[in-house]
Structure 1
Amino acid sequence: MQGKFDAIVGITNDFAKQHLNDEYAQLIRFATAALCRKRPSPLASGKEKTWACGITHAIGMVNFLFDSSQKPHVSAKEIYDWFGVSPSTGQSKSKQVRDILDMRQMDPDWCLPSQLDNNPMAWMISVDGFILDARSVKREIQEEAYARGFIPYIPADGKPSDIDGEQTSPHQSKKQVSPHQNKPVNSSLDALYVLDVFLIDGPITEKFIAKNPVISRTIEIKGSNTLEDLHKIIFKAFERKDEHMYEFQVGGRGPQDPSARRYGLKQAFSSSDFTEAPTGEVSSTLIATLGLSIDDAFGYWFDFGDDWWHQINVTNIAEKAPESKYPKITERVGASPPQYADFD
């Protein structure tokens, strides 16, 4: 789906540059990525410009883009005309997007970050059965609500500086309040990185998901190991049999963030299937050179046909790894899904 994703966001980015802003462009990219991860992905069929129109219209509806008092403001007709689709087609595709992603007006998951303060739905929590505005409750309740991802930030602390400029992908859990949050990057070759690798999408049957709602592996790896080493231990951790193309996406906000640096196999540098060459080759890229810090998250995409998507969370970084053989698997949650599922 990478080609489809690139084609759609290429169109929506152009529209956003002309009529919207970076916030809208990023939110539209997140919605496109979310649709790519659906199985089966609805984007597999249909024209790119039609999907681009529908996704843009859907995000616009959530954020009252069509209200002339808003800035930026674009009418629905202007959207249809720019993308070259009829109003009926644009409305139909927008509804399809909203239904698939469960979008609604003032939806906190799809709200522009700069508008969170003005969105009451972003602050509603349930306390002992009562629906309350989190901004009016005690701080300890706010801290728990924030840690569990129910509110965007703790009001008394003020809005974090990165909320307006950057945003996490909708439906991605907010970070726990952590004393390690601002810990500097450790670039030592002797450092020990503890990574939680979550399987977040792939060709898995509903029956398997019901039995294994969470599938993750904890891996310990040294700064002197390479991304190729990380791939091999993940491959082993999920008990896969056949090798395929893969890449790591580092420095963004998780999997499928177009702003992330991509690291792939050597053949990816000359393959016509890629719109641009990766940042680096996995066999020569050391973990220590990635600039990782605690609480970072990055993506791992395995098999560009079946699209196994993983999110890798950096849970700890020790200054020096104990004597042992690395990388190694230290914990498994959930069974490993078969590499080739039988959906019959």
Structure 2
Amino acid sequence: MTSYRFRVWLHPNPPLEFEPETEVWRDIEVDGSHTLTDVHEAIFDAFERRDTHAYEFLLRDEHGISIRSYAHPEMYSGEQSWPPMDDEQIDRFLEHAIPDDVSEETRDTFRDLRKNPPEERNAAETTIDELDLIESQSLFYEFDFGDGWEHHIEVEEIREGSLDGEPVIVDKQGDAPPQYPEK
């Protein structure tokens, strides 16, 4: 069995008045048999949330390109991970959002994934081991699509051995903001 240590950074969220002076993150250890839904629940607890909402994970390759989505079980449709883009949309995106120093191979990968999106997967049915992760690979996680709590998840460590029980918060930096700003 394999266990993983993830660092989960919470992105600033100016509409909800969350713009911290220092980075806010949590380190969470999970077992390879845990599902992405288990990871979602650990993040939910780690950032002291109380009101459940939909969520999605995007698996990224070594260049940061999203290669597949993993949907909240109630949102899972089995359709494509994202709507396909035509050549004009892809070219516009590459021109405005991708740095000039990105290799042509990476651009081609992005182009292919946007033209032919992979099938989305169900987060509740996908184990961490099934993601075939490598250290320093990343995922994107968004919770509550209305308020848009965005997170960057980096694979900090992969090691042999099983984690008994539920995912565990092992380190943290910064205070968790309230899920909803005080009015």
Normalized against structure 2, the TM-score is what?
0.71
- Root-mean-square deviation over aligned CA pairs: 2.4
Higher relative contact order (CA 8 A, sep 6+): 2
Please identify which structure carries the higher helix content: 1
Structure 1 residues 174-205: Cα deviation after superposition (integer angstroms, max 9, x where no partner):
xxxxxxxxxxxxxxxx2010000000132442
SS at match of 2:129: helix
1:268 paired to 2:75: yes
Give the Cα separation in 1 of the matches to 2:52 and 2:119. 19
Letter of the aligned partner of 1:335 in structure 2? D
Structure 1 residue 270, shift from structure 2 partner: 4.2
Letter of the aligned partner of 1:300 in structure 2? Y
In the alignment, what sits opposite 2:8?
A: 197
Say which one has the larger Rg: 1
1:299 paired to 2:161: no
- 1:317 paired residue among 158, 161, 181: 158
Letter of the aligned partner of 1:192 in structure 2? S
Give the Cα separation in 2 of the matches to 1:238 and 1:195. 14
Give the Cα separation in 2 of the matches to 1:304 and 1:234. 16
In the alignment, what sits opposite 2:130?
A: 289
1:228-243 paired onto structure 2 within 5 Å: 228-243=37-52
Give the Cα separation in 2 of the matches to 1:329 and 1:302. 18
SS at match of 2:124: helix
Give the Cα separation in 2 of the matches to 1:222 and 1:270. 26
Letter of the aligned partner of 1:227 in structure 2? L
1:41-56 paired onto structure 2 within 5 Å: none
Letter of the aligned partner of 1:251 in structure 2? R
Structure 1 residue 275, shift from structure 2 partner: 5.3
User: 238-247 or 325-334: which moved more?
Assistant: 325-334
SS at match of 1:232: helix
Normalized against structure 1, the TM-score is what?
0.39
SS at match of 1:250: strand
Q: Following TM superposition, where does structure 1 have runs of at least 4 consecutive aligned residues deviating by more than 6 angstroms?
A: none
Residues 1:281 and 1:270: Cα distance change in structure 2 (over 3 Å)? closer
SS at match of 2:11: strand
- 1:247 paired residue among 53, 56, 61: 56
Letter of the aligned partner of 2:123 in structure 1? V
Structure 1 residues 141-169: Cα deviation after superposition (integer angstroms, max 9, x where no partner):
xxxxxxxxxxxxxxxxxxxxxxxxxxxxx
Give the Cα separation in 2 of the matches to 1:270 and 1:292. 24
- For structure 1, which runs of at least 5 residues remain unmatched after alignment? 1-189
The alignment covers a number of residue pairs equal to 146
- 2:33 paired residue among 219, 224, 233: 224
Structure 1 residues 203-250: Cα deviation after superposition (integer angstroms, max 9, x where no partner):
4426x623xx21000000000000000000000000001111100000
**Partners of 2:16 and 2:147 within 8 A in 1:** no
SS at match of 1:283: helix
1:29-48 paired onto structure 2 within 5 Å: none
Please identify which structure carries the higher strand content: 2
Structure 1 residue 266, shift from structure 2 partner: 2.8
Letter of the aligned partner of 1:321 in structure 2? S
- For structure 2, which runs of at least 5 residues remain unmatched after alignment? 84-117
Structure 1 residue 260, shift from structure 2 partner: 2.5
* % same residue: 36
In the alignment, what sits opposite 1:69?
A: none
Letter of the aligned partner of 1:264 in structure 2? A
Letter of the aligned partner of 1:209 in structure 2? P
In the alignment, what sits opposite 1:329?
A: 169
